[in-house]
């Protein structure tokens, strides 16, 4: 329909796309030249009328996500406002092969062609897609080489001591050098003093800095424990410089990731003027390490985030956050506390005259898990039926032979690659592509065939279904039964079934599950007359959301139980 509509027209609405990948002055001049060239080029054709020049300035061609003009051009074409698109070359349109093919196919489907002037390709021609694939692959390879050259140059400069980064608390970055900022340095020294010499935690330090009215960097709203941790862990404050803490694994997406050993760090000791002594920095690191080891020991076999965002304060409505506490015997345990209390402490008026803080009780993670276990055990449904249904689904997936499907898929991919290879030879023999282009494209296709062939051989050797199948199903069944029965805690299961735990205080804890119109109410109490502070008794009472008491609801009950987790701090 779209092609018929275009053929009937004598005048075609033509859009032009141009892009420069940096905002340097010489590139800007090229940018203006491109726009002027396209305007004159379209005006010379009597059957064309300029629809719009879509121009992206200072953006990369390896991804279309951030190219606003490009995306607007595609939308205009789909809306029927553009009949033809012209651009200088494939590398200006996209250096990502997948993007080139995807968008030109989408445009061709609605009758809009793309003409690449320098490459002599019109996407409405029969062999355009193959030629476009070859040329865009070459452009993509050029992007990869450029990325490698830039990375190599940056690393050499890092090794020479050039700083890549932005201003930070205590230092200003000027022409690749860290310059001491005394005003910020005073705050850094204060933080280390509180942490090392006064033995204060990061939450306490953040709260004290907020209450003292000490300003953060402009990009931070307020002091937080995570901001304090970043400062304490930053080696720059003792004069060292570590760079390449992040890296870009994919030159197409430009997404950065934390470097966890994938690439070599660039480390320079005594690189600049230190704000704190190396001894104090190492002492702070030892304290952090000691606390981290203790917390990992506690959390090793527990679901650390099962209740994240699920526990709410009944007094102020703020979410509870996890904290680690120390008993008198030195052992530690995980508890949940209102974030308002964590940040500001007990209720008080701050320096700005605002009422801050919260006095609500905390609840230990063990007690929260115990409560969820009791709720699940109280549910009146046939757990055997649920377990059988889940196991039947798992069994059908595990026993499904996907090897034959995968083999056929890989064999099809190899056949398609061989067809591309044959067509490439035809293009070369007919003189449509140069020898250099042919050799580059041929090497790429040969590599893809070899890689796919290797995958095919690997799949053919697999025989996973015959290996420990019955043992696997037994383990799955035991684990699922424990979760459904409530005897085992499971983070994912709790996250799905739990709607909210509301802690008014330790005497009034309400539990709401998703899709169930009932409320479970708990009280965590010390056992009467029990001298052991690690024992406490609790009770559970069920009522629905209308406030009907447990005596009025047939399925309600009142069960006393003794917690093995210890008394809750009140």
pLDDT of residue 471: 60
Residue 509, H or E segment: strand 508-513
Mark the ranges of the chain whose per-residue pLDDT is less than 70: 1-10, 21-30, 58-66, 95-97, 139, 218-220, 247, 249-255, 259-261, 292-305, 352, 380-387, 389-391, 393-405, 459-477, 479, 481-492, 525-570
Distance CA 275, CA 219 (A): 22
pLDDT of residue 186: 92
Of the candidates 81, 62, 83, the one whose C-alpha atom is nearest the C-alpha of residue 72 is 81
Distance CA 372, CA 231 (A): 38
DSSP code for 468: S
Inter-axis angle of helices 278-299 and 225-233, to 10 degrees?
Answer: 130
Q: How many residues does the chain have?
A: 570
Contacting residues for 142 by C-beta, under 8 A, at least 6 apart? 91, 95
Distance CA 23, CA 57 (A): 7
Answer whether 410's CB lies under 8 Å from 456's CB: yes
Tokens of 390: 């889940």
pLDDT of residue 475: 67
Q: How far apart are the first and last CA of the chain?
A: 75
Strands (E), 162-310: 171-174, 177-180, 241-243, 246-247, 257-258, 266-268
Of the candidates 359, 324, 332, the one whose C-alpha atom is nearest the C-alpha of residue 344 is 359
DSSP code for 195: I
Tokens of 505: 């205080």
pLDDT of residue 389: 67
Distance CA 207, CA 269 (A): 33
Distance CA 173, CA 154 (A): 16
pLDDT of residue 159: 81
Tokens of 247: 């890296």
Contacting residues for 325 by C-beta, under 8 A, at least 6 apart? 332, 333, 334, 335, 362, 569
Q: What Å distances lie between residue 487 and 216, 308, 371, 483, CA to CA?
A: 47, 21, 11, 6
pLDDT of residue 554: 30
User: Facing residues of 215 across strands?
Assistant: none
Q: What is the pLDDT of residues 287-322, one digit of tens each?
A: 888 776 555 544 444 445 678 888 999 989 899 988
Distance CA 467, CA 471 (A): 9
pLDDT of residue 232: 92
Distance CA 210, CA 351 (A): 9
User: pTM here?
Assistant: 0.42
Answer whether 11's CB lies under 8 Å from 47's CB: yes
Overall fold of domain 2-147: Rossmann fold (3.40.50)
CA atoms within 13 A on the CB side of 375: 27
Answer whether 200's CB lies under 8 Å from 192's CB: no
pLDDT of residue 526: 52
CB atoms within 10 A of CB 270: 11
- Any idea where the domains of the chain sit in the sequence? 2-147, 171-299, 311-378+486-563
Tokens of 458: 């690997």
Of the candidates 370, 288, 422, 299, the one whose C-alpha atom is nearest the C-alpha of residue 564 is 370
Distance CA 98, CA 131 (A): 14
Overall fold of domain 171-299: Hect, E3 ligase catalytic domain fold (3.90.1750)
Give residue 21's Cα distance to chain centre: 26
Q: What is the pLDDT of residues 398-409, one digit of tens each?
A: 555 555 667 778
CB atoms within 10 A of CB 238: 20
Token pair 């739990």: residue = 498
Tokens of 41: 């080029």
């Amino acid at each position: 329909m779209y092609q018929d509509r275009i053929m009937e027209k004598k005048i075609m609405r033509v859009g032009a796309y141009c892009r420069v990948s940096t905002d340097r002055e010489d590139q800007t001049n090229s940018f203006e030249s491109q726009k002027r060239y396209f305007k004159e080029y379209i005006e010379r054709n009597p059957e064309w009328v300029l629809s719009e020049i879509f121009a992206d300035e200072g953006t990369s061609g390896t991804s279309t996500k951030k190219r606003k003009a490009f995306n607007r051009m595609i939308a205009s074409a789909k809306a029927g406002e553009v009949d033809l698109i012209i651009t200088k070359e494939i590398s200006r349109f996209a250096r990502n092969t997948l993007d080139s093919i995807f968008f030109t196919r989408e445009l061709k489907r609605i009758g809009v062609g793309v003409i690449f002037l320098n490459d002599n390709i019109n996407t409405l021609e029969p062999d355009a897609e193959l030629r476009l694939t070859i040329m865009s692959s070459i452009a993509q390879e050029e992007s990869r080489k450029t990325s490698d050259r830039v990375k190599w140059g940056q690393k050499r400069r890092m090794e020479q001591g050039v700083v890549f980064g932005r201003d930070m608390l205590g230092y200003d970055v000027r022409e690749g050098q860290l310059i001491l900022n005394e005003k910020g340095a005073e705050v850094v020294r204060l933080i280390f003093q509180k942490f090392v010499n006064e033995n204060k935690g990061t939450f306490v330090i953040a709260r004290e800095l907020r209450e003292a009215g000490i300003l953060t960097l402009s990009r931070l709203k307020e002091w937080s424990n995570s901001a304090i941790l970043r400062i304490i862990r930053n080696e720059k404050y003792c004069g060292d410089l570590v760079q390449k803490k992040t890296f870009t694994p994919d030159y197409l997406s430009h997404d950065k990731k934390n470097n966890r050993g994938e690439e070599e760090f660039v480390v320079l000791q005594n690189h600049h003027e230190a704000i704190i002594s190396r001894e104090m920095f190492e002492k702070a690191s030892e304290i952090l390490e000691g606390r981290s080891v203790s917390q990992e020991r506690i959390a090793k076999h527990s679901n650390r985030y099962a209740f994240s965002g699920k526990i709410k304060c009944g007094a102020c409505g703020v979410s509870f956050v996890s904290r680690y506490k120390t008993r008198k015997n030195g052992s530690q345990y995980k508890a949940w506390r209102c974030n308002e209390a964590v940040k500001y402490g007990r209720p008080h008026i701050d320096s700005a005259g605002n009422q801050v803080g919260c006095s609500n009780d905390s609840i230990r993670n063990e007690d929260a898990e115990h409560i969820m276990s009791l709720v699940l055990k109280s549910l009146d449904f046939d757990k055997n039926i649920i377990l059988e249904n889940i196991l039947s689904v798992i069994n059908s997936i595990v026993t499904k032979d996907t090897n034959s499907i995968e083999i056929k898929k890989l064999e099809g991919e190899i056949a398609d690659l061989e067809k591309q290879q044959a067509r490439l030879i035809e293009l070369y023999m007919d003189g449509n592509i140069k020898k250099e282009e042919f050799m580059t494209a041929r090497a790429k296709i040969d590599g893809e065939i070899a890689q796919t062939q290797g995958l095919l051989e690997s799949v053919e050797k697999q025989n996973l279904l015959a290996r420990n199948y019955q043992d696997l199903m037994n383990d799955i069944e035991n684990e699922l039964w424990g979760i459904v029965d409530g005897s085992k805690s499971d983070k994912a299961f709790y996250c799905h079934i739990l709607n909210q735990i509301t802690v008014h205080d330790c005497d009034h804890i309400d539990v709401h599950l998703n899709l169930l119109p009932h409320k479970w109410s708990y009280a965590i109490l010390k056992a009467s007359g029990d001298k052991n502070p690690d024992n406490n008794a609790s009770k559970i009472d069920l009522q629905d959301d209308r406030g009907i008491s447990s005596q009025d609801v047939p399925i309600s009950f009142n069960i006393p139980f003794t917690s093995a987790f210890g008394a809750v701090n009140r």
